[in-house]
Amino acid sequence: MPSRFTDPTERPYFLWDEQTTVGAFRQALATGTAEERARLLGKLLREARDSDVWAFTTLAEVRALWPSLERYLGRRRAFWRYLLAAWKELGLG
């Protein structure tokens, strides 16, 4: 399967309510304030397919921003809590 999100002009499906591109999203994640990064990561974890999340972030970054981004997860909060706890228990990060 070809890599997704390699075209910086592509509009990411998970940002359906924002007029932005993959490139602009990556830039905001890299240079935004801690609160803005938490909001964007929360949106990514909430709206994107689980496998697509890792094209934009790392487990270490998610763990580091977890206290700030958790409030943005909505219906996906329990899923991510479970997944992060299971990975930690298995020694995967």
**SS3 labels along 29-74:** HHHCCHHHHHHHHHHHHHHCCHHHHCCCCCHHHHHHHHHHHHHHCH
Domain ranges (residues) in the chain: 13-89
Q: How far apart are CA 56 and CA 12, in angstroms?
A: 11
34-66 tens-digit pLDDT: 999 999 999 999 999 999 999 999 999 999 999
Q: How far apart are CA 39 and CA 25, in angstroms?
A: 12
- Of all residues in the chain, what percent carry a pLDDT higher than 70? 97
| DSSP classification of residue 45 | H
What is the predicted pLDDT for the residue at 26? Answer: 97
What pTM value is reported for the model?
0.90
